[in-house]
Amino acid sequence: MRIDIITCVPELLSGPFDHSILKRAKDKGLAEVVIHNLRDYATTKYKAVDDYAYGGGAGMVMMIEPIASCIEKLKSEREYDEVIYMTPDGENFNQKEANKLSLKKNLIILCGHYKGVDQRVRDLFITKEISIGDFVLSGGELAAAVIADAVIRLIPGVLNDETSALSDSFQDDLLAPPVYTRPADYNGHKVPEILLSGHQAKIEEWRSEQAIKRTKERRPDLFKD
Ligand code: ADE
């Protein structure tokens, strides 16, 4: 998979993809994240990527030309499955959407900034608008990193057996059960006996019960189906 992220603050995205599981995905040749600085596509003398809003009001609006030029260049090089715009008024992101996106080959993610992008960018180029929650970030960069992380770790071959995504929270609309490691006794706080029993079938049964209990307590909304 290749993810092209378009941003006017590329510094915010230098780092997250060079560590841990995302780095492993890159080293294995399973995922590549390419960051594009919108200013490189600016057409004005001062490399502006934003301008005042027509009709007045506070805040700047991202201009269509640099974005169009960047997206068109990328599209001339390869086919894209989705052109995603990160915005608080997009569809709420969840594990189901992460699963779907992990099956795609090439994605573009456009990060909004200031008051957002000229509506014509959304009308002409964007195929999917995603929000990572009901709060407003300063820009779409951190949200784009969240999406890329959630998606890349699901690509077959990125995780090994021990870190398998099949046991993640939300994979079956269930939260993950509690986990423990050594020591078995921390100042009298003991690890549940069953986990030390070596009886794998009983351990799986316990984990499944705990996942259901935790989901009912914390996220009854997930449990209704
Ligand atoms: N940009 C600003 N806030 C955002 C959010 N909550 N989700 C996605 N993109 C955003």
Residue 169 confidence (pLDDT) above 80: no
By DSSP bridging, strand 50-52 and strand 60-62 are antiparallel
Give the confidence band of 225 by pLDDT, cuts at 50, 70, 90.
low
Ligand 1 pocket: which of 132, 135, 141 to mutate (most atoms <8 Å of CB)?
132
Give the pLDDT confidence of 90-133 residue by residue, as tens digits: 999 999 999 999 999 999 999 998 789 999 999 999 999 999 99
> What's the CA-to-centroid distance between 113 and ligand 1, angstroms?
9
Ligand 1 pocket: which of 85, 114, 131 to mutate (most atoms <8 Å of CB)?
131
- Structural domains in the chain, CATH included, are 2-152 (3.40.1280.10), 169-223 (1.10.1270.20)
Give the pLDDT confidence of 20-46 residue by residue, as tens digits: 888 999 999 999 999 999 999 998 999
ipTM (interface pTM): 0.98
Residue 173 confidence (pLDDT) above 90: no
Helix (H, G, I), strand (E, B) or coil at 70: helix
CA distance 139 to 67: 15
* Residue carrying structure tokens 């959304």: 122
CB burial of residue 134 (10 Å; 0-12, 13-18, 19+): exposed
- Numbered residues of the known binding site for S-adenosyl-L-methionine: 112, 132-137
Confirm if 114 and 8 have CB atoms less than 8 A apart: no
Residue 210 DSSP one-character state: H
The closest residue, in CA terms, to atom 6 on ligand 1 is 88
> What's the CA-to-centroid distance between 84 and ligand 1, angstroms?
12
pTM for this model (two decimals):
0.93
Residue 161 confidence (pLDDT) above 80: no
Ligand 1 lining (C-beta closer than 6 Å): 86-88, 112, 131-133, 135-137, 140, 143
CA pseudo-torsion sign 154, 157, 158, 159: positive
Q: Compute the 3-state secondary structure of the chain and give helix, strand, coil in percent, each to the nearest 5.
A: 40, 20, 40
> What's the CA-to-centroid distance between 89 and ligand 1, angstroms?
8
The closest residue, in CA terms, to atom 10 on ligand 1 is 87
CB burial of residue 2 (10 Å; 0-12, 13-18, 19+): middle
